Amino acid sequence: MKSKVTKLAGLLLGVAAVTSLQVQAETLRLLTWGGYAPQEVIELFQQETGIEVKVTKSNNEDMISKLRATGGAGFDLAQPSQDRISSAQAEFNIYRPIDLARIKSDLFIPSMLEATVKNTSIGDKVYGVPHVWGTSGLVVNRKAAPDVRDYTDLCDDALAGRVSYRLKRPTLIAFAFALGEDPFAAYGDRAQYARILEKVSARLTECKPNVKKYWSGSDDLLNLIRSGEVVAAMAWDAGGWKLNKEDPDTTFVAPKSGALGWIDTFALPRKSKAEDAAYQWINFVMRPDIAAKITAESSYFTASKGASALVEKEQTRRFEESFPQAAIDNIKWYPPVPAGLEEMEGKVLDRIKAHR
């Protein structure tokens, strides 16, 4: 009798374990940016697949930190920028390769897929495919700050206490270009890159009296601009277009020295427990009809082929106003960041922050 009970108990435990794994496999833990997984899209995905999506909003630094701390565990799909993958993978081994055979490549803009695959590869292994793309440049109230046309214009004395930007590496890169340097060309020369950082550091230190606040979240910045406390900022294009819906005087301006172009990707954390669900999500959100919903929510365009034709006309008008062809041609696309550079940048940023 005891033997039968023991066998039955073992059988029940086995069934429970299988059931637990099935439940776990039906949940996708997504580490992403705000706006990339709208509730409407999540609900449509769940209706179609039965898979629940749990979203954690993050940014590049936080994604690397979270995945590094766990060795690539805790999430099933992440969305780091394409320039932040290969170095993090080489240093921390936090991702697993993507099986391109499981990606519906015909859903992607070919040139963007090809470039992202190239920039996220280590040897013959690919670690990222593109999702959302955009730029950072200037968000300007053209009535209150009509002369702001490049990043260094934020330091004009007339704007004292009325500008904002993040104290992050994109600001270092942007100011370097505006000061006549090419930081991307110096990626392979640490001494040259250090020289550029010192030049930028001096300018940003001089510029501190102009900064109302170093913004950290986009909502924080948008509210500063809405209130009139900030009239010019370095920020993402989508933020400027959101404000333009409310106030035609405020919009995104592509800087004279070039907007900084980025692509946020899909990457598989090394210890993903729901890889099948991750591939289903990628192929689902890259459908043009779904991608257009993401653009409507976030104001960012995606690498989905044909999705732009489904975007509202006003959104397309704002894009074309900010980006005439010459400005598109002048976009500075982020290349992969070599290991060690971010540590150099972090020290410079800390020094700028501490200076009084």
Lowest mean pLDDT among 7-16, 57-66, 232-241: 7-16
- Give residue 106's Cα distance to chain centre: 23
Residue 4 has a pLDDT of: 47
Q: What mean pLDDT is predicted for residues 148-176? A: 97
Tell the residue number behind the tokens 């907007």, with chain if given.
Answer: 259
Q: What mean pLDDT is predicted for residues 4-25? A: 45
Lowest mean pLDDT among 75-79, 255-259, 333-337, 344-348: 333-337
- Is residue 279 scored above 50 in pLDDT? yes
- Is residue 19 scored above 80 in pLDDT? no
Residue 25 has a pLDDT of: 46
Residue 356 has a pLDDT of: 76
Could you give the domains of the chain? Answer: 2-133+262-326 (3.40.190.10), 135-261+331-354 (3.40.190.10)
For the entire predicted model, the pTM comes to: 0.81
Question: For 53-89, how does the pLDDT look when each residue is reduced to its tens digit (9 = 90+)?
Answer: 999 999 999 999 999 999 999 999 999 999 999 999 9
